[in-house]
Amino acid sequence: MADPATSSTAPPPTRRTAFAEGVDQVRAAATTEPGRLRIIGALLALLVVAFGAVTAWQTSDRAAAADDVLHQSQPLTTAAADIYRSLADANTAASSGFLAGGQETAESRERYEKDIDTAAEGLVTAAGNSDPGSPSSAAVTKLNKLLPEYKGLVERARTYNRQGFPVGGAYLRYANQKMQKEMLPAAEDLYKKENQRLRDDYADATPYPWAAIALGVLALAALAWAQHRTYRRTHRVLNHGLVAATAAATVVLLWLVVGHTVARAGLEDSYEHGVRSLNVLQDARIASLKARGNENLTLVARGAETVKVGEETVDAYDHDFTEDMGALGEGLTLARRLADDRDGATPVAQAESNMAEWKNRHTAARAQDDNGNYEQALALVIGGKGATGECFDSVDANLASALEHEQNEFRRAAGDGLDAMGGLPAGAAVLAVLGAAGAVLGIGRRLSEYR
């Protein structure tokens, strides 16, 4: 009898993992035709369902981005541009009212107050749509702090001006400096941030869903192979279930490619013939507002602010006016080139004509001022008919008309792009489920022949 102390016990057999056992079962099943058919049916169903799921996921993301372009980021970009324009126009109206002195019209005062209110409302909207701590939120906070400071300086300038104190001009120049050096740069920064968000949404909405397309092609190839295999073994041309699955997958793939191509074309059209034109027109309108403000301040300062240009010392505000008019001219030229129909090109061409006349009248006003005829120069700038203010108002009105037209063009094209993706995520999911069911039923029909 063996000594128990010296006898060795055989180690217990190692338990195999569930995965390994599953692999063995699949291998065993693959040795028979029914087993192979079950595996083929499961893989076909999985491929079709995966195709539908990825299609629904990718098209949902692109549709959401396209919806943001149409209903959120572009309107917010326009709102940011309106904040900038309202601030610049308020500055222009304030300088015009200052030049009028005690004869400031109710219309001029109302324009200033309306611009300030519009800017304040725009800041409230921007604040509500900005993420806390974001760069946009910081710009909005800065503008909310500076706006009442600017209003206070303008009111002091008006008060002293009505009393005939020269210090009123200094207050107005200080208010203008705060607007030009602090407020408008902050508003421009907000506009750029919103414009970047708009470009990001376009970048999310327009790329082709290559993963879904690749899965669709793979699913169709697998279904074609399965039908060819069935034909070789049975000599039956059609398997109704597999044909139905192939038809469903084909519809989803065609819908995906055609729908996204149409959507992409609409979104690209909305950018090329909508957003680009809007940006150029908004910049041109801002340039005209800045030019008008500097033209007024030339008369307010009366040579108190100068700048060195080469070897020559010139009036700082008149120098800025010239640069602003140059930017306006370049913007109008580009806007006319981008306009793709008469309704868009006509107001731009009219604004160019108004600008040319504005420059001629400004030259005449400067000549009167340089010759010591201040009152005549003032009449040529803020007077009624024949004044530069008349040209500025025409430029501004024509640019507003062009902006409205391009905004409508944007909405139409972007709306068409969004509509082209309508129903695609849900439709792809439903058709994928039907296609998977067809594949399973088609393979099941073959399996029934072995029972």
Lowest mean pLDDT among 6-15, 62-71, 193-202: 6-15
**Mean pLDDT score, 335-342:** 90
**Which helix H or strand E contains 253, and what residues bound it?**
helix 240-270
Please state the φ and ψ torsions of residue 13, each to the nearest 5 degrees: -60, 140
pLDDT at 193 over 50: yes
pLDDT cut 90: percent of the chain above it: 38
**Mean pLDDT score, 356-382:** 90
Neighbours of 322 (CB within 10 A): 15
Cα 318 to Cα 100, 154, 340, distances in angstroms: 19, 21, 35
pLDDT of residue 152: 92
304 vs 255, more confident? 255
pLDDT of residue 250: 93
pLDDT of residue 239: 79
pLDDT of residue 11: 60
pLDDT of residue 364: 92
Sequence-distant (≥ 6) Cβ neighbours of residue 218 within 8 angstroms: 47, 51
For the chain, the average pLDDT equals 85
Give yes or no for a contact between 187 and 143, defined as CB atoms under 8 angstroms apart. yes
pLDDT tens-digit map of 385-420: 889 989 998 999 999 999 999 999 999 999 999 898
pLDDT at 229 over 60: yes
Lowest mean pLDDT among 9-13, 349-353, 408-412: 9-13
**Mean pLDDT score, 330-351:** 92
pLDDT at 275 over 70: yes
Lowest mean pLDDT among 81-90, 232-241, 382-391: 232-241
pLDDT of residue 109: 84
pLDDT at 298 over 50: yes
pLDDT tens-digit map of 98-115: 777 656 677 778 888 999
Question: For residue 127, what are its two tokens?
Answer: 């604040």
pLDDT at 356 over 70: yes
pLDDT of residue 6: 52
pLDDT of residue 398: 95
**Mean pLDDT score, 225-237:** 78
Q: Which of 74, 67, 62, 69 is nearest to 195 (CA)?
A: 74
pLDDT of residue 1: 47
Q: pLDDT grade, residue 233 (50/70/90)?
A: confident
pLDDT of residue 61: 93
pLDDT of residue 50: 93
11 vs 353, more confident? 353
Residue whose token pair is 């079950």: 38
- Paired residues of 422 in beta bridges: none
pLDDT of residue 27: 60
pLDDT at 372 over 50: yes
d(CA 267, CA 414) in angstroms, rounded, equals 5
193 vs 3, more confident? 193
d(CA 36, CA 357) in angstroms, rounded, equals 85
Sequence-distant (≥ 6) Cβ neighbours of residue 190 within 8 angstroms: 80, 83, 84, 126, 136, 139, 140, 143
Give yes or no for a contact between 398 and 351, defined as CB atoms under 8 angstroms apart. yes
pLDDT tens-digit map of 144-189: 999 999 999 988 988 887 777 878 888 888 888 898 889 988 998 8
pLDDT cut 70: percent of the chain above it: 89
d(CA 337, CA 345) in angstroms, rounded, equals 8
The pTM (predicted TM-score) of the whole model is 0.77
